[in-house]
Structure 1
Amino acid sequence: MTNLFRLKFIALALLLGGCTTVPPSPVSPAPCPPVVTPPVTTVTPNLQLSDWSALPGWNDDQALAAWDSWLQSCVALKAKPEWQAVCAAAVALKPASNEAARTFFQTWFNVYQSLKADGSTDGLVTGYYEPLLHGSRTPSAAYPVPLYAAPANLLTIDLSSIYPELKGLRLRGRLEGNKVVPYLSRADIDGAKLPLAGSELVWVDNAVDAFFLQVQGSGRVQLPDGSMMRVGYADQNGYPYRSIGRVLADRGELRLEQTSMQSIKAWGKRNPDKLPELLAQNPSFVFFKELPNSNGGPLGALGVPITGGRSIAVDTRAIPLGAPVWLATTEPASTVALNRLVLAQDTGGAIRGNVRADFFWGFGDAAGKQAGMMKQTGKMWVLLPKTMAVPGALASR
């Protein structure tokens, strides 16, 4: 077997497993973008040139409240050629009003509506948050459920240098003799043999809370002495996410429209004997790392702190990570409009699609209540710098 053929075989096996360049003073209008030759940049073909007048509620948003989150995006984006000028202008400008912030974005950006493959505009908007768990650095009867660090035998394989079409796709596996095989599933990890013993990071008091921490991707653990331990996403076992809410709906245990984090937790309390089998229906498993404690939000996939009410998780195959996004949706379990400038600063295993967003509500129980109920229809417009080259086919409406 040639090396090239062997790599293809491994990939298949694992996939089966799973105006002026000098800014004016804050009271002056925003500067115009410099006239430059646009860099060659790939923009996904789901984006269609739109107009600021198409954004529901654009002139009513408290855009200034998104400014700090936008500057956080620039921390990560400023090294990219197509973002350098706009981020330099943003850092130098200190807008004094919502109108000044909106003027900046209108001056420097074009707006594109994100479309599904069939050309439709409506997609799903869910919510997530940073939960608070209770735990200990040592196991006990009170804290029996481990959160694991990334295990030493977890292999991450990137074949993009050989197969460019696999760019952004990392395969997970493990060695079994001299073969690479899919990594352990949730059922394997949580099984009686405890194959990851020794990789525990901390132990918590509740298996359902630990499960939903994996769904959220980050959280805080309050230790017995009252101190806080912050944990964040480290890696994943390579399996696709499967919704246990849908499993319960398919089994007739809950109505699909009633499934939420809260209803699933309530079901678990009523059915403790059935809970392990239900959780195992989602083979995806997330590993954590301890993060420094800070007053800011958790780190998102962009590598910067995310902001409650102003950050979203997206599918980066459709929306560039770090980009401003206009989100038009409704409040959780409501028809009240939620139209807001947000930043695409995170990703998630269940966030797949051109018009798909996970809205970050912040930290704690109140944020968790909102996140757990959020399953809304929404539309999305992506803001891209005017200096970014966009394929001509996307530039017409």
Structure 2
Amino acid sequence: MTTGRGACALLLSLALTACAGIIPVSPERASRPAPAEPQVPPPETSPDVPVSGNAASQGIRPGPAVASLDIERDQAVRALAAFRISCPSVLNREERTGLTATSDWIEPCRAAESWSGDAVRFFAEHFRAVEVGSGRAFATGYYEPEISAARERRNGYDWPVYAVPADMPEACTGDCDPQLETLTRAAIESGALAGQGLEIAWAEDLVDLYFLQVQGSGILRLPDGDPMRIGYAGTNGYPYTSIGRLMRERGLLENGQTTAEGIADWLRENPEQGRAIMQQNPRYIFFTELDGPGPLGSLGRPVTPRATVAADPDFVPLGAPVFLDLEHDVADGLWVAQDTGSAIRGANRFDTFWGAGDDAYRIASGMASRGQAYILIPAASAARLRAD
């Protein structure tokens, strides 16, 4: 996720409504749970989410006092650590939401650097909760997949993991002559980049490699058992196409198969048709080997399992804490916006990061939950918005 990847592609988004205005002078309201709505299957991308404008244009209202939110201590400790990691980039990134100014982050970042007390109290003292638009949220999940691969091509490892080509041709989008299309997924998988020395590894399974590209980063487990961590380095410039949606439209998936695991099983059971379907998504992800402790988010900092959330930087300041109250209780609590994703667009649209391993895969691939979101902004930002 950078995992700047397409934050998990097994997603569906919820149309979110909003109203215009800035924070009115009004008492803070008590936290309220989101009303339950029917569970939706975990799908693949985000249609029809309003993405125009920014947070300020959607209307901003004060949320409840941060101290009144149901934040567990362990969540706050993880979030504070993630916030500290983000601060150097927060003080230098572009502000696009209309919620804060870069200078507003100096005080909470300085305080976080030396804070040794209760982590919940840190957020309560230095931040104020606001609601963007209706505050009605939709959240999915992503994870760091682990697949089998080798650094050099060998028997059984036939699918190249590519670095970014030095001279990337311009993508052919819109109404294109198919003969002019260059580095689509189909062209790359047919050998368009072969012989250029771009292979950083070779994957054992094409379906595993496809889903690693969807996530945008992951761990390659080498034949000797050593891990090789790789991260997002770029794309071929083509838009993402949801193969899950294509498969549902064609009647290929039965009820219960619309999870990542169900889709992957079908693709492996039908290898020729499955490869053709994967190639219907022309977007291709290139990777680089990482030496650090984890995948990098859009701030250029390591993302934090169970603390990082991907968001749209037009609606959530990157580095800002976010409180979620969702139907899936496992994702309730405090997160930090450290990442973005091409499918994560619009107000109150989030993608929660769960790390690596079987539990992370299980939670992330089944996460598709509605609820309520509050963005935590520095106290100075909230005071200025009220004054405006």
Structure 2 partner of 1:124 = 138
For residue 82 of structure 1, report the CA deviation from its aligned partner.
2.6
**Which position in structure 2 is the counterpart of 1:68?**
81
Task: Specify the SS of the correspondent of 2:373.
Answer: strand
C-alpha deviation, 1:46, in angstroms = 2.9
Preserved CA contact (<8 Å) 2:298 2:339: yes
Whether 2:58 is the aligned partner of 1:46: answer yes
CA contact 2:65–2:129 (8 Å) conserved in 1: no
Gapped regions of structure 1 (runs ≥ 5): 1-41, 156-171, 175-180
Cα 1:356–1:43 shift into 2, 3 Å? closer
Secondary structure, counterpart of 1:388 in structure 2: helix
Structure 1 residues 255 and 58: CA distance shift in structure 2, 3 A: same
Counterpart amino acid of 1:362? G
Aligned match of 2:303: 306
The residue aligned with 2:44 is none
The structure with the larger Rg is 1
Contact 2:66/2:123 (CA < 8 Å) preserved in 1? no
So what's the TM-score if we normalise by structure 1? 0.73
| 1:360-386 deviation digits (Å, cap 9, x = unpaired) | 011122211211111111332111112
The number of equivalent residue pairs is 318
Distance in 2 of aligned mates of 1:127 and 1:230: 20
The answer as to 2:90 corresponding to 1:77 is: yes
- Separation of aligned partners in 1, 2:281 and 2:316: 26
1:109 positional shift: 1.7
The CA distance in 2 between the partners of 1:196 and 1:58, in whole Å, is: 55
1-structure distance, mates of 2:160, 2:56: 40
2:320 to 320, 323, 344: 323
| Misfit runs of 4+, over 4 Å | 53-57, 192-197, 255-258, 389-392
Matched, 1:349 2:362: no
* Matched letter for residue 324 of structure 1: P
| Partner SS state of residue 247, structure 1 | helix
Q: Which sections of structure 2, spanning at least 5 residues, go unmatched?
A: 1-53, 93-101, 173-179
Residues 145 and 217 of structure 2 are in contact (CA less than 8 Å); yes or no, is this contact kept in structure 1? yes
Q: Aligned with 1:58: secondary structure?
A: coil
Identity %: 38
2:379 paired with 1:386: yes
Return the structure number with greater strand share.
1
The equivalent of 1:267 in structure 2 is 266
Choose 382-391 or 342-351, whichever is displaced more.
Answer: 382-391
User: Which whole-Å deviations, capped at 9, do the CAs of 1:7-55 have from their partners, x for residues lacking one?
Assistant: xxxxxxxxxxxxxxxxxxxxxxxxxxxxxxxxxxx96423512222599
What is the Cα deviation at residue 134 of structure 1? Answer: 1.1
The answer for the alignment partner of 2:11 in structure 1 is none
How big is the alpha-carbon RMSD for the aligned residues of Structure 1 and Structure 2?
2.7
Name the CA shift for 1:66/1:59 in 2 (closer, same or farther; >3 Å): closer
Please say if 1:145 is aligned against 2:163.
no
Give CA deviations for 1:185-205 in whole Å, capped at 9, x if unaligned: 212222355567532111110
Which structure has more RCO (C-alpha within 8 Å, separation ≥ 6)?
2
Q: CA deviation at 1:240?
A: 1.9
* Cα distance, 1:58 vs structure 2: 2.4
Conserved 8 A contact 1:77-1:84: no
Task: Quote the Cα distance in structure 1 between the aligned partners of 2:306 and 2:211.
Answer: 20
TM-score (norm 2): 0.74
